[in-house]
């Protein structure tokens, strides 16, 4: 269903089972799969692909040009997975650089006024709360949650099943299954709520606790600890092994 007050390019691919509300704009090259719902005043730019069942609420702008001075008009892309919810006035930019791409996996929730910068990668089930601002190239792991009003610096990584508290400045990586709290943001133990919700066993939770005690309390240099955990010299959870593969970032410190 396309509302008569909507503007939909003849070169856009809109599934007959999609719904486009009043005053929406769908540009040439956009793809809306089955069950996509655009409420009112949604702007979908070209080279944007929206997966089945995704609901985009009033005033959101998706697939706009990257806000990067190096962008020179090259062809770039945005992919949004299935069954996402993108709430009011959220903004999502395409990638930057030739064939650059921003990717949002399935079942992601972007709350009102959140911003997803160019080349960000959001994995399945991530929750981005109201007013969160992600700089370019930020990676957010599956089922991670970022609290309202938090700013995440470009290239930062937010690990799977982690939680970053509200109104924070995240300028370092948040490890998987961890909590980032305080100013400056610091590691504050495991995100037990997410781990239990997603069926982590007590044994696995215990292993994660042991790994982080070693990482933060051993007194050894960070990269040495990461190398030992990743090499199998110590029993290590797969979340940590994957997160620190080719690690080149800066990890948040542990709280006092």
The per-residue pLDDT of the chain, averaged, comes to 96
pLDDT at 202: 98
Model pLDDT, residue 256: 60
Q: Output the pLDDT for position 226.
A: 86
* Domains assigned to the chain: 7-140 (2.160.10.10), 196-243 (no CATH)
Rounded-to-integer distance, Cα 160 and Cα 137, Å: 16
The arrangement of strands across the sheet holding 13-14 comes to 13-14, 31-32, 48-50, 77-80, 101-104, 121-122, 139-140, 157-158
State how beta strands 186-190 and 178-181 pair. Answer: antiparallel
Structural tokens at position 32: 């809306």
Q: What share of the chain is helix, strand, coil (3-state, %, to 5)?
A: 15, 30, 55
The alpha carbons of the chain give a radius of gyration, in whole angstroms, of 20
CA pair distance 162, 81, nearest whole angstrom: 21
pLDDT at 230: 79
The closest alpha carbon to 173, from 165, 182, 164, belongs to 164
Active-site residue numbers?
118-119, 136
CA–CA separation, 128 vs 121, rounded Å? 12
Residue numbers in the chain where pLDDT is lower than 50: none
pLDDT digits (tens, 9 = 90+) for 222-248: 889 988 887 877 789 999 999 998 888
- The confidence score (pLDDT) of residue 13 equals 98
pTM here? 0.96
């Amino acid at each position: 269903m396309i509302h008569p007050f909507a503007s939909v390019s003849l070169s856009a691919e809109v599934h007959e089972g999609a719904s486009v509300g009043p005053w929406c704009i769908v540009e040439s090259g956009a793809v809306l799969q089955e069950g996509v719902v655009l409420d009112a005043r949604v702007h979908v730019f070209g080279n944007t692909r929206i997966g089945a069942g995704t609901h985009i609420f009033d005033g959101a702008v998706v697939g706009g040009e990257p806000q990067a001075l190096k962008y020179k008009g090259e062809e770039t892309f945005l992919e949004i997975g299935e069954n996402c919810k993108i709430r009011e006035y959220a903004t999502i930019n395409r990638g930057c650089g030739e064939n650059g791409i921003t990717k949002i996996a399935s079942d992601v929730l972007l709350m009102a006024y959140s911003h997803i910068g160019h080349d960000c990668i959001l994995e399945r089930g991530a929750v981005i709360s109201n007013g969160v601002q992600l700089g370019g190239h930020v990676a957010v792991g599956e089922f991670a949650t970022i609290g309202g009003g938090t700013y995440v610096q470009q290239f930062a990584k937010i690990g799977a099943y982690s939680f970053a508290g509200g109104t924070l400045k995240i300028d370092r990586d948040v490890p998987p299954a961890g909590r980032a709290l305080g100013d400056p943001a610091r590691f504050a133990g495991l995100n037990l709520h997410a781990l239990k919700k997603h069926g982590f066993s007590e044994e696995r939770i215990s292993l994660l606790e042991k790994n982080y005690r070693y990482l933060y309390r051993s007194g050894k240099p960070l990269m040495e600890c990461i190398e030992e955990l990743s090499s199998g010299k110590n029993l290590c959870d797969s979340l940590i092994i994957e997160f620190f593969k080719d690690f080149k970032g800066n990890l948040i410190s542990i709280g006092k």
